Amino acid sequence: RKDRNEIAHEYSFNQDEVVDSINLIFNRVDKIIEIYDIIYKYCFEKFEFVRDSEVLNMQN
């Protein structure tokens, strides 16, 4: 949660902090994509509008 807050809610003017936050995202991109895929799969199975949407349906 601390990392997420630093990335999403901190508006730092300190260049080193910004670089550290970007590196944190980069180093965790595999986990971020994994979480996204799980959420997408759930929504695809649960909500018809996701399956029917040309924009949301990545299966097309």
How far is C-alpha 34 from the chain's CA centre?
A: 9
What are 34-49's pLDDT values in tens digits?
999 999 999 999 999 9
Task: Give which of 14, 15, 29, 17 is closest to 5, Cα–Cα.
Answer: 17
Q: What is the crossing angle of helices 29-46 and 15-27, to 10°?
A: 60
What are 10-22's pLDDT values in tens digits?
566 778 888 888 8
Question: What's the rounded mean pLDDT across residues 15-32?
Answer: 89
The Cα 1–Cα 5 span in angstroms is 6
Instruction: Tell me the CA distances in angstroms from 14 to 7, 40, 41, 56, one per residue in order.
Output: 13, 35, 38, 37
